[in-house]
Amino acid sequence: MRMSPQGANKVSHEAISWIKGRLFRGAPSATRKDILLLVLLSLLVSSCSTNTPPPAPEIVSVFSTYAAEPWLSELYDCGASQGDVTLSRADDPSAADIALRVGEPKALIQPAFQIDTEEILIVTHRQSPIQNLTLEQAQILFAQGDPSVQVWVYASDSDEQQVFDQLVMNGRSVTSSARVAVSPQRMSDTLVNEFNAVGILPRHWKAGDVREVYSAGTVPVLALTRTEPQGVVKELISCLQK
C-alpha cells in the first residue's frame, strides 16, 4: 500500500486506515480494540513530539586597541573552543563586553583582568645612527628631536603612546616634528623600510631587521569588562589567562 507523504511528525489518514485493516483481520473484537487503542495512542504521541532546536549561540561583543590585536586572535580562538558563542567586533570600547588594551588607562573605573604582559621598546632602523639610549637620552630625543633621524610616535590617546608617556616622558610633550603612525603595524613597517626612522614599538610587533635601543618597561595587557563578568564572558577571560 502507498501512503501519501506527510511532515516528519505527522501521520496520514491512509496510514491509520491501513493499520486498522491489518489489525482487524482475524483477531477477536476485544483484542482488536485494545491493540487499535494502543496503536492510536502511540501515533498521537509521535505526531505531537517535536525536535528541540539547538540553542542560539550567545553573542559577545569585543573590542581591541591596535596594540592588543595579538590577543584578539587568541580571544577568537577561545570563542571557537566554546562552541556556543559568537564574537562580534565592537567599534566602541565602552560598548564592548570585553575590551583589550595594553597598559592601564588613566582612569580605571571598571573591572580589569590581566591576561599577559607587553614590553614597550624604542626601535630604530638597522642603519640608524642612534645607539643604545639611557632614559634621559630617550626623553631628550623624543622631546627635542634630532636632525639626523625622524622620530615617530602614536596619537596621544592610543594606549601604547599613553604607556610610553608614563614610562619615559614623565609629563614632557613629544617634539612637534614627530610623525604619527596610525598603528603598531604601520610603525613596524616604517622602522623596517626607512633608514633614519626611530619610534615606539610593542615587542609583539617587532619584526624584520631593526634594532631596539631602549626598553621603556613592561606593562600588563588587560581585558576590561563593563560589569563583573559572568557566564561565557568569565569563561573567555579565564581562557585568555591560561
Is 71 in the same domain as 147? no
- Per run of 10 residues, the mean pLDDT along the chain (length 242 residues) is 42 52 54 61 57 78 97 95 91 95 92 98 94 97 96 97 96 96 97 96 95 98 96 96 92
Is 207 in the same domain as 122? yes
Reported residue count of the chain is 242
Query: Rounded to an integer, what distance in angstroms lies between the CA atom of residue 73 and that of residue 68?
Result: 9
The pLDDT value recorded for residue 9 is: 44
User: How many structural domains is the chain composed of?
Assistant: 3
Q: What are the phi and psi torsion angles at 58 (to 5°)?
A: -80, 135
The pLDDT value recorded for residue 117 is: 98
Is 125 in the same domain as 145? yes
Is 152 in the same domain as 169? yes
All 3 cell numbers of residue 69?
Answer: 590585536
Query: Rounded to an integer, what distance in angstroms lies between the CA atom of residue 149 and that of residue 198?
Result: 7
All 3 cell numbers of residue 239?
Answer: 581562557
Is 129 in the same domain as 183? yes
C-alpha 125: how far from chain center:
32
Is 189 in the same domain as 234? no
| Residue range(s) defining the domain that contains residue 62 | 58-115+222-241
Is 104 in the same domain as 124? no
The model's pTM: 0.76
The pLDDT value recorded for residue 47 is: 55
The pLDDT value recorded for residue 54 is: 66
Is 204 in the same domain as 226? no
Is residue 5, in this structure, part of any structural domain at all? Answer: no
Is residue 213, in this structure, part of any structural domain at all? Answer: yes
The H or E element that residue 235 is part of is helix 231-241
Is residue 131, in this structure, part of any structural domain at all? Answer: yes
Q: What are the phi and psi torsion angles at 23 (to 5°)?
A: -75, -35
Query: Rounded to an integer, what distance in angstroms lies between the CA atom of residue 237 and that of residue 55?
Result: 22
Is residue 7, in this structure, part of any structural domain at all? Answer: no
Q: What is the CATH number of the domain that holds 107?
A: 3.40.190.10
Is 227 in the same domain as 215? no
Neighbours of 46 (CB within 10 A): 12
Is 138 in the same domain as 198? yes
Is residue 53, in this structure, part of any structural domain at all? Answer: no
Is 67 in the same domain as 144? no
Is residue 4, in this structure, part of any structural domain at all? Answer: no
